[in-house]
Amino acid sequence: MKKAVVLFVTTLAAGVLLLPSAGAHPRDNPFDTTIFAPIQPGGFKVNLETVATGLTAPNKGVLAPGEPGRLYVVDQVGKLWAVDLATGSKTLFLDVGSRLVPLGIFGPGTFDERGLLGVAFHPNYAVNGKLYTYTSEPNAGPPTFPTTMPPGTPPDHQNVVAEWRAVAPGDPVVGVDPTSRRELLREDHPQFNHDGGDLAFGPDGMLYISDGDGGEADDQGAGHVPGGNAQQLTSPLGKVLRIDVNGSNSANGQYGIPADNPFAGVAGALREIYAFGFRNPFRFSFDRGTGALYLGDVGQNDIEEVDIVVKGGNYGWATKEGTLFFFNNGAGAGFASTTDNGLVPQGAIDPIAQYDTHHEGHSVIGGFVYRGSKFPQLAGRYVFGDFARLFRFPAGPNDSGRLFYLTQKNTKPGLRQINELYVPGQPPPGQQQRASTEGIGLALLGVRTGRGRRTLCPRQHQRHAVRKRGSRPAARSRAVTANP
């Protein structure tokens, strides 16, 4: 079989808009005068093709073990679709819409960051049929972890991780047994935004969960403790968690806590924490070549960053943003600066790549390291994107996303150079103008396929999939899209 790099790109209907928000950005003009980390022109061309239609707000795509020809697509409104990659046909596999909070912070069809945000299939799914979801639900029970909310103040919602069982793994038509739901954990989330929401099993068989800092801006406000939730080891907010879905030694008895978790033996700390100091870790993935955990952490007002996450690592939010020092500025808009704020913890880890929030985009969307052999120019490179160069709030369209990859070059010590993939018909990389910034409108990059292929599932507002120019896959490549 021929090998191909396929970038599956999805569109939005006029429904809910999901964005891993970067806070108080200028909504219609990213070209401000503060430039810390510009993206250098460069990269090569990709083509776009349609794959399937009829979705609302797809934000993640994954493969189930043993099903290489089928992409499971997370639709924010609560639907999990099984898409046949050979035909583009889709089957509703699971619907959790009735469990979600009402979506659209300004009414139906408007911006929101809550919903069905993540799914992961158990490594032994082909036998046990287990899968896991991350959902934003109404306040309906005591949280698994200590709340950060002041007494008498309810959270905006609760984020929930649950286990389900497929009726017949490999046959999505019969779907998921609705009575099989088992709740693993539930956390109070102060505001509607910064939900994180990604789930993935690591090479070690453990389930990793990303959680944002609780929302609002600058990691402060109601439900944000002094110094910020992300730096507090008593809270799951602003963290990557690591649990054993086959265990039962957690406080609620619904999952296990690996003995080698970095804070498993630290008094007062949550034993589930794997790493901390994140603002909104919306998407992450494991490099199948090295096992490294790559994560895109959405910035506040100045810097978007890509991190390699290590056990026990502190990534600095809200004392730093990217490699810069962060000032929350009281009631004003927070900002990054080269001036030392005297707050950064010793040993805080810098990102491996970063770019300007206002000037280059609005929200980094984490992707994957390419480990195929067909395209040497991408070998070992991290491919990722940005949601939208222009943020049209609150109802879009946000159709100016970008696709990037990291080169082997360093822009400065410790930081990798970012190049942009060029989509024919769009302005060349580095040449976008104020009046012409339309692009592919990303909201997510998605999944690895077998046989050396890498599939990425972004969300966008045009009927396009992306394939490396000149690639010749054995079957026609398609992407997941929706009717505009």
Q: What DSSP string runs through 459-470?
A: EESSS--EEETT
Number of other residues whose CB lies within 10 A of the CB of residue 48: 20
**CA dist list (Å): 435 to 28, 386, 429:** 11, 19, 15
Q: Span 251-280, mean pLDDT?
A: 98
Chain segment 174-205, per-residue pLDDT in tens: 999 999 999 999 999 999 999 999 999 999 99
Q: Please give the share of the chain, as a percent, with pLDDT higher than 70.
A: 78
Residue 83 in tokens: 């898409």
Residue 401 in tokens: 């996303």
Q: Span 391-419, mean pLDDT?
A: 79
Residue 437 in tokens: 């910034």
Q: Among residues 167, 208, 160, 204, which one has the least CA distance to residue 183?
A: 160
Residue in this structure with the two tokens 């009402």, named with its chain if needed: 102
Helix (H), strand (E) at residue 192: none
Instruction: Please report the pLDDT score of residue 37 as a whole number.
Output: 85
Does position 374 have pLDDT exceeding 70, yes or no? yes
Which amino acid, one-letter code, is at 223?
G
Rounded Cα distance, 165 and 183, in Å: 12
Question: Which tops the pLDDT comparison, 459 or 362?
Answer: 362
Number of other residues whose CB lies within 10 A of the CB of residue 123: 18
**In the CATH scheme, what is the homologous superfamily, with its name and number, of domain 5-468?**
TolB, C-terminal domain (2.120.10.30)
Per 3-state DSSP, what percentage of the chain is helix, strand, and coil (rounded to 5)?
Answer: 5, 35, 60
Does position 116 have pLDDT exceeding 60, yes or no? yes
**CA dist list (Å): 390 to 163, 220, 302, 336, 440:** 37, 26, 14, 20, 12
Rounded Cα distance, 335 and 322, in Å: 11
Question: Which tops the pLDDT comparison, 330 or 442?
Answer: 330
Tell me how many degrees the CA angle 344-347-348 measures, rounded to the nearest 5. Answer: 50
DSSP per residue, 125-164: HHHH-EEEEEEEE-S-S--SS---SPTT---SEEEEEEEE
Q: Span 458-466, mean pLDDT?
A: 30
Instruction: Please report the pLDDT score of residue 471 as a whole number.
Output: 29
Does position 426 have pLDDT exceeding 50, yes or no? yes
Does position 10 have pLDDT exceeding 70, yes or no? no
Which amino acid, one-letter code, is at 455?
T
Chain segment 81-108, per-residue pLDDT in tens: 999 988 889 999 999 999 999 999 989 8
Chain segment 332-362, per-residue pLDDT in tens: 889 999 999 999 999 999 999 999 987 888 8
CB-CB contact of 295 with 301 (8 Å): no
pLDDT band at 399 (very low <50, low <70, confident <90, very high): low
Instruction: Please report the pLDDT score of residue 440 as a whole number.
Output: 44
Instruction: Using DSSP, state whether 31 is helix, strand or coil.
Output: coil
Q: Span 152-164, mean pLDDT?
A: 98
Does position 158 have pLDDT exceeding 50, yes or no? yes
pTM, 2 dp: 0.87
Instruction: Please report the pLDDT score of residue 7 as a whole number.
Output: 46
> Hey, which of 8-12, 229-233, 441-445 has the most confident mean pLDDT?
229-233
> Hey, which of 47-61, 105-119, 185-199, 394-408 has the most confident mean pLDDT?
185-199
Provide the residue ranges of all domains of the chain, joining segments of one domain with +. 5-468
Which amino acid, one-letter code, is at 277?
G
pLDDT band at 396 (very low <50, low <70, confident <90, very high): low
Q: End-to-end CA distance of the chain, in Å?
A: 34
Residue 197 in tokens: 């929401």
Instruction: Please report the pLDDT score of residue 209 as a whole number.
Output: 98
Instruction: Using DSSP, state whether 440 is helix, strand or coil.
Output: coil
Q: Among residues 429, 446, 445, which one has the least CA distance to residue 437?
A: 429
Does position 24 have pLDDT exceeding 90, yes or no? no
Rounded Cα distance, 247 and 334, in Å: 41
Q: What is the mean pLDDT of the chain?
A: 83
Q: Span 53-77, mean pLDDT?
A: 92
Rounded Cα distance, 335 and 79, in Å: 37
**Cis, peptide link before residue 331, omega less than 30° from 0:** no
Residue 184 in tokens: 């693993």
CB-CB contact of 21 with 339 (8 Å): no
Instruction: Report the range of poorest mean pLDDT among 36-40, 168-172, 269-273, 351-355.
Output: 36-40
Rounded Cα distance, 198 and 135, in Å: 10
Does position 68 have pLDDT exceeding 50, yes or no? yes
Rounded Cα distance, 48 and 468, in Å: 9
Instruction: Please report the pLDDT score of residue 50 as a whole number.
Output: 65
Instruction: Please report the pLDDT score of residue 16 as a whole number.
Output: 46
Q: Among residues 459, 455, 461, which one has the least CA distance to residue 475?
A: 455
CB-CB contact of 475 with 85 (8 Å): yes
Instruction: Please report the pLDDT score of residue 303 as a whole number.
Output: 94
